[in-house]
């Protein structure tokens, strides 16, 4: 199976094709003005900045399917985009200016909430925070939670198989999707766009009727088609929560803390467990108007959240008892418990503010890796050692989701370096980190996807047979090869 087509293989849409696009989405929803297109052409770090022939804003699944049919029949490349929060360039067009960005932002309706079946049916452009709020109004929790919840969209969460803060409780996006519908780019559907919509929005939890196309599209990053709607699981809302920052001697004690808490939590469950290094806290305190959680700083911290379904104080009682035992066992050296909702919010801001705070410290080279949880201490120790061999004065900022092994292994530039000089070492540094992760049985991409950034790793981590199978799927669902070319597949 030959390699997928490259972005440069496609022609920009002709005037006739642009007119057909406008007839589908409406003149006002076809954007060609450079200033109006700008937000769709760059990601928030400005690492990827592209150009496009136009941006399309379809308002329904049928319009998405019709656009793809016209594009496939006329050799026009399509770049799907949700909330534009991705960090590997999968949602950004290349620099040639011949591709078309298709934004899902107008497909933003929650179609149904089934309180008996505990499901939500929604369109792909629903912002994650809106889905969360709608679920809570009905007494449920939406299972995905990310720092970018206020801007990322559920379709993008599925297209990248997002993880986030609650994986320890609910699992990744794939585990919480019951069904989806996707538009595919088949030229023969140009006069019958409904034929290019695949999938049934069924809320069945048991349905053994052949291949599950849902799992093909989840994690495909828009290279097979465009997810347009989905049925997601909901979970009964927790009624009580306790949150604590704890200081721990090292990542080894932090990992031991997971099973220690699980074994002693009688009426609550771990809903988040985040590991944070000293440098990350320093950055957040320095730049985000936040406070250090302890009078005596520590090298390593864990943010622990316990949640319960019961009367107020249930989770806090468990938390206090468990942390006292952890202190006596030497797993922690200090703890700060949030006493109210305002303090809980501030604790979370301290954790979530680290990514933004790194911008103010100059260049930041970011890796998103995972390893078996037991190997987190080795990953941190060996990863830092390899990075410092390359840039001895670099400032490692590893942090992330302790309970599922996902670390954001970020490296900030030396204080006296120029930003551009440090960022020029991106590939060298991320390669060193990735090699350590692979040696420990891990992954080079835990939740951000492959996109443009990690595409060249695919043949390193997958067999020739696996790559051939992926390319065969691509050829079937996208025979014209127009869907997000140059992303994911080598």
**What is the distance between the alpha carbons of residues 320 and 301, in angstroms, rounded to a whole number?**
17
What pLDDT sits at residue 194?
A: 65
Domain 7-106+469-477 has CATH 3.90.1330.10: no
Give the closest residue to 375 by CA, choosing from 438, 425, 449: 438
Q: Which residues are paired to 30 by β-bridges?
A: 56
Secondary structure element (H or E) that encloses residue 412, with its range: strand 406-412
Q: How far apart are the first and last CA of the chain?
A: 11
What does the pLDDT read at residue 176?
97
Residue 267's CB is within 10 A of a number of other CB atoms, namely 14
Q: How far apart are CA 100 and CA 482, in angstroms?
A: 10
pLDDT for residue 351: 92
| pLDDT at residue number 189 | 66
Q: Which two tokens stand for residue 82?
A: 């949700």
Residues in CB range of 483: below 8 A, 6 or more apart? 68, 78, 80, 185, 222, 223, 224, 225, 226, 474, 477
Token pair listed for 210: 């052949």
Residues of the chain with CATH 3.30.43.10: 7-106+469-477
Encoded tokens for 344? 């809980």
Query: Cα Rg for the chain, rounded, in angstroms?
Result: 23
Strands 110-114 and 119-123: antiparallel
What pLDDT is attached to residue 195? 65
Element of type H or E holding 282: helix 278-287
Annotate 271-296 with b (16+ C-beta within 10 A) or e (fewer): bbbbbbbebbbbbbbebeebeebbee
Across the 490 residues of the chain, what is the mean pLDDT of every consecutive 10-residue run?
A: 87 96 98 97 91 98 95 96 95 97 98 98 98 97 94 97 92 96 83 78 91 93 98 96 97 97 95 96 93 91 95 94 97 96 94 90 96 98 98 97 95 97 97 98 95 96 96 95 97
Rounded to whole angstroms, the Cα distance separating 294 from 274 reads 17
pLDDT value for 186? 81
Give start-end residues of each CATH 3.30.70.2740 domain in the chain: 361-449
Enumerate residues 6+ apart whose C-beta is below 8 A from 8: 94, 96, 98
Q: What is the pLDDT of residue 1?
A: 65
Number of H helices, E strands in the chain: 17, 19
> What are 405's two structure tokens?
């092994």
Token digits of residue 488 = 């994911």
Span(s) in the chain for CATH 3.30.70.2190: 240-355
> What is the CATH number assigned to the segment(s) 110-236?
3.30.465.10
The crossing angle, in degrees rounded to 10, of helices 341-352 and 278-287 is: 110
Give the whole-angstrom CA distance, residue 18 versus residue 32. Answer: 10
d(CA 119, CA 60): 21
What dotted CATH number matches 240-355?
3.30.70.2190
Fold of domain 361-449: Alpha-Beta Plaits (3.30.70)
């Amino acid at each position: 199976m030959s390699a997928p087509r490259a972005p440069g293989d496609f022609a920009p849409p002709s005037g006739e094709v642009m007119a057909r696009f406008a007839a589908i989405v409406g003149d006002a929803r076809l954007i060609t003005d450079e200033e109006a297109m700008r937000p769709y052409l760059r990601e928030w770090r400005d690492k990827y900045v592209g150009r496009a022939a136009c941006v399309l804003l379809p308002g329904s699944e049928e319009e998405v399917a019709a656009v793809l049919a016209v594009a496939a029949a006329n050799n026009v490349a399509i770049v799907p985009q949700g909330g534009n929060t991705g960090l590997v360039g999968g949602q950004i067009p290349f620099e040639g200016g011949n591709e078309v960005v298709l934004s899902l932002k107008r497909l933003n309706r929650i179609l149904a909430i089934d309180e008996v079946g505990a499901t939500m049916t929604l369109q792909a452009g629903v912002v994650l925070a809106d889905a969360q709020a709608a679920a809570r109004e009905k007494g449920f929790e939406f299972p995905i939670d990310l720092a970018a919840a206020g801007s990322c969209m559920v379709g993008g969460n599925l297209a990248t198989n997002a993880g986030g803060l609650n994986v320890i409780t609910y699992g990744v996006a794939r585990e919480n999707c019951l069904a989806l519908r996707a538009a595919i780019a088949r030229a023969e559907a140009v006069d019958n766009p409904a034929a290019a919509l695949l999938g049934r929005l069924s809320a069945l939890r048991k349905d053994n009727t052949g291949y599950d196309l849902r799992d093909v599209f989840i994690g495909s990053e828009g290279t097979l088609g465009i997810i347009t709607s989905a049925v997601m699981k909901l979970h009964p809302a927790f009624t009580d929560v306790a949150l604590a920052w704890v200081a721990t001697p090292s990542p080894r004690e932090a990992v031991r803390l997971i099973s220690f808490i699980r074994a002693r939590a009688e009426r609550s469950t771990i809903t988040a467990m985040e590991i944070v290094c000293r440098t990350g806290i320093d950055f957040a305190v320095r730049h985000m108007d936040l406070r250090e959680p302890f009078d005596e700083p520590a090298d390593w911290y864990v943010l622990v959240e316990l949640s319960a379904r019961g009367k107020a104080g249930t989770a806090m009682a468990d938390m206090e008892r468990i942390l006292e035992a952890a202190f006596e066992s030497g797993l922690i050296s200090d703890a700060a418990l949030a006493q109210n909702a305002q303090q809980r919010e501030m604790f979370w801001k301290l954790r979530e503010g680290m990514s933004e705070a790194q911008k103010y410290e100059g260049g930041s080279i970011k890796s998103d890796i995972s390893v078996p949880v037991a190997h987190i201490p080795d990953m941190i120790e060996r990863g830092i050692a390899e990075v410092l061999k390359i840039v001895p004065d670099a400032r490692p900022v590893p942090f992330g989701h302790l309970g599922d092994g996902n670390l954001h292994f970020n490296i900030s530039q030396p204080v006296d370096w120029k930003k551009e000089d440090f960022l020029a070492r991106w590939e060298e540094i991320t390669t060193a980190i990735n090699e350590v992760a692979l040696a420990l049985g891990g992954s080079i991409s835990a939740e951000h996807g492959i996109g443009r950034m990690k595409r060249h790793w695919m043949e390193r981590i997958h067999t020739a047979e696996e790559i051939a199978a992926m390319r065969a799927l691509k050829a079937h669902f996208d025979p014209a090869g127009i869907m997000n070319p140059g992303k994911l597949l080598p």
